[in-house]
Chain A
Amino acid sequence: MADPATAAAAAADAAEKGGSGGLPQFDVSQWPGQMVWATIIFVVLYLLFSRVFVPAVASTIDAREDKISGDIGDAKRARDKAKAELDAAAGELAAARARAQKVALDAQSDAKAAAAARQAQEEAKLAETLAAAEARIATARAEAMGHVRAIAVETAQAMIARLTGAEADVAEVERALGAAAS
């Protein structure tokens, strides 16, 4: 069947005879038409793919990847913004808390200082009163002590009068008392 003439004859009445006896693929008379057609069909398909299909599919895939990465970027930016806001809020909260603490501390120390001042004032007043009282007591005592002498003189006079029956001289008694006391 490798012989072209036989092959051509076989191809002519192929329907009846079939391809027995050899491979119909080696029938070279059938080659040129198939080869030219195969080339034409391949080139047309290649042009379709290189000009239309592949750019369309590739650009769609690229656009999708761009969109996905863009969306992810947007989401990331939104997250970062939210985080920054959260941080700012937390900072503000901390500052407010610190301020409140400071105010409380100030109030406490003010109250303490006021209390201390009042206490000191009261103490001073008390001390003053005390001092006045002491002074009064001292004068009272001194006065009382003065009276004691006079009482002693009177008592001594009275005792002398009772014992002796004579009126004792005041100056004398005074002298005697001074001698006894010293």
Chain B
Amino acid sequence: MAAIEPMEQFLVRKVVDLPPIPVPGLGSLDMSITNSVMFMLIAAALISTFFFAAARRQVVPGRLQAVAEMLYNLVDSALTGGIIGDRGRPFLPFVFTLFLLIATLNLIGLAPGGFTVTSQLAVTATLAVLTFGTVLVVGFVRNGLGFFKLFWPSGVHPAMAAFLMVIELISFSVRPLTLAMRLFGNMLGGHVVTYMFASFVIGLGLFGLEGAGLAKLGLLGSAVSFMMIVALMALEFVVAFLQAFVFAALTCVYLNEVVNLDHGH
């Protein structure tokens, strides 16, 4: 019987070996195509192909175009329009890209043989840092040094406000960490739990088949575990979509704070 290795599915392996690129002062950068990178490229190719096929300019949309427009309207009305408001339109491409990329990577991870790129902390951290950096850049470009008003609570005694500012600063700076960890944790947990139940199906099933007497209960355990996997997979599909939506929604919430800083929240 094979060893139960729930973390083996997250191992990054090289698929195409490329020579390392020397980076002055930092050593060398290994840009080899790993399974993680390969599935990112697959996701990007799927998204681009879909939109090249779907972004037709027909007044009466076909099926693909209707799906593309539905996704666009979802992001436009619920995320950038709903959270940021009238000033949200310029950020729609950013939020749209983020949402679609994360959702696609999550769903590819659920496909048999698919590698879950969003369970790689390096990738979720990169996306979180990109988001955080965008918020910072937008904040300073739109408000200049008025950006720091974001941390200054109004209507409080200055001494108290200074104390609260420290807390606000800390809560602001851990945002990339929470963004990265939330997505990473959800994907990791779901896949590990599914793997464990899958190993129960095999392990308890073999135990029940080989044993006699009470050991036959192993077959029952195997069947229950299998039903659990079915239920978990349904849940994982919801989580895959939901976590992408949550990531995009939080991006909008953070952007909203700096975009609408001048006229209240």
**B29–A54 touching, CB < 8 Å:** no
Segment of A21-29, A136-144, A147-155, A171-179 in the binding face:
A21-29
**Given A37-B40, A38-B40 in contact, is the A53-B34 Cβ separation under 8 Å?**
no
* Docked complex Cα distance between A67 and B58 (Å): 12
**B3–A42 touching, CB < 8 Å:** no
**A63–B29 touching, CB < 8 Å:** no
* Docked complex Cα distance between A27 and B10 (Å): 11
Q: Mark B129-147, 1 if CB is under 8 A from A, else 0.
A: 0100000000000000000
- Chain B stretch 207-227: residues in CB contact (< 8 A) with chain A: none
**A25–B184 touching, CB < 8 Å:** yes
Instruction: List B contacts of A22 (CB < 8 A).
Output: 7
Instruction: List A contacts of B41 (CB < 8 A).
Output: 41
Interface footprint category on A:
35 or more
- Chain A stretch 8-37: residues in CB contact (< 8 A) with chain B: 11, 14-15, 18-20, 22-27, 30-37
Consensus secondary structure, chain A interface: helix
From A14, A32, A36, A38, B11 is in contact (CB under 8 Å) with: A14
Segment of B89-97, B166-174, B238-246 in the binding face:
B89-97
**Least distance between B127 CB and chain A CB atoms (Å):** 7
**B72–A39 touching, CB < 8 Å:** no
**A46–B97 touching, CB < 8 Å:** yes
**Given A30-B34, A34-B123 in contact, is the A57-B7 Cβ separation under 8 Å?**
no
A6 at interface, CB cutoff 8 A = no
Q: Mark A83-110, 1 if CB is under 8 A from B, else 0.
A: 0000000000000000000000000000
**B121–A18 touching, CB < 8 Å:** no
* Docked complex Cα distance between A37 and B30 (Å): 10
Consensus secondary structure, chain B interface: helix
A64 at interface, CB cutoff 8 A = yes
Instruction: List B contacts of A24 (CB < 8 A).
Output: 7, 10-12
**B59–A37 touching, CB < 8 Å:** no
Closest to B2 in A: A18
B149 at interface, CB cutoff 8 A = no
Please count how many residues in chain B sit with their CB below 8 Å of the partner chain's CB atoms.
52
Segment of B47-55, B153-161, B229-237, B249-257 in the binding face:
B47-55
**A45–B47 touching, CB < 8 Å:** yes
B44 at interface, CB cutoff 8 A = yes
Instruction: List B contacts of A14 (CB < 8 A).
Output: 8, 11-13
Closest to B13 in A: A14
**Least distance between A63 CB and chain B CB atoms (Å):** 7
A58 at interface, CB cutoff 8 A = yes
A60 at interface, CB cutoff 8 A = yes
Closest to A66 in B: B59
Instruction: List B contacts of A61 (CB < 8 A).
Output: 69, 72-73
Closest to A37 in B: B37
B107 at interface, CB cutoff 8 A = no
B125 at interface, CB cutoff 8 A = yes
Q: Which residues of B contact A (CB under 8 A)?
A: 3, 5, 7-8, 10-13, 29-32, 34, 36-37, 40-41, 43-44, 47-48, 51, 55-59, 61, 65, 68-69, 72-73, 92-94, 96-98, 100-101, 119-123, 125-127, 130, 184, 188
User: Could you show 22 A-B contacts with beta carbons less than 8 Å apart?
Assistant: A11-B11, A18-B5, A19-B10, A20-B8, A22-B7, A24-B10, A24-B12, A25-B119, A25-B121, A34-B37, A34-B120, A34-B122, A39-B126, A41-B44, A42-B98, A42-B126, A46-B97, A52-B51, A53-B55, A57-B72, A60-B58, A63-B59
